[in-house]
Amino acid sequence: MSIFKNKKNISKDISKRSLAIETELKKAEPKSEIKSYRASTVLIIKPLVTEKTRNLAIKNNKYIFIVKKESNKKEVKKAIENLYKVEVMDVNIINVKSKPKRLGRNMGKSKQFKKAIITVRKGQTIDVIPT
């Protein structure tokens, strides 16, 4: 019977120690300093390159990227600035819905995605097609 009592005492000691460590960590780091960060390579899936997007890039300094569905404007702005080293002036986000498609006699759907339209400062460019 003494063996089981020792195990209970050991587990109580461990739980007390873990509580003490957690309270020390909470005191050391205030919540305002803790910020969530997502890598820029995770948020941005790929640039969308078509004739229309090339014209937007040339005339209006606007570039279009396909991004993750969970991303928001602030995260996309930081990701583009870190990845391409440009100053982002404006970010617009569009959720593109799926469209019905026919696959033979079966009906299917195209994929949903989120795209971000990035406006860059005049004079700066993003090289979306590597040469």
CATH classification at residue 71: 3.30.70.330
Has residue 82 been placed in a domain? yes
DSSP string, 15-32: HHHHHHHHHHHHHHS-TT
Domain annotation covers residue 64: yes
Distance from C-alpha of 2 to C-alpha of 10, rounded to nearest angstrom: 13
Task: Give me the number of domains the chain comprises.
Answer: 1
Residue 13 lies in a domain: no
Three-state secondary-structure class, residue 128: coil
Task: Walk along the chain (131 residues) and give the pLDDT tens digit of each residue.
Answer: 555 555 555 555 556 665 565 666 556 555 544 445 566 668 899 999 999 999 999 999 999 999 999 999 999 999 999 999 999 999 999 999 999 999 999 999 999 999 999 999 999 999 987 64
Q: What is the pTM of this model?
A: 0.67
Q: Amino acid letter at 103? A: L
Q: Is residue 131 part of a domain?
A: no
Domain that holds residue 100: 40-120
Burial class (CB in 10 A: 0-12, 13-18, 19+), 47: middle
Three-class secondary structure of residue 72 per DSSP: coil
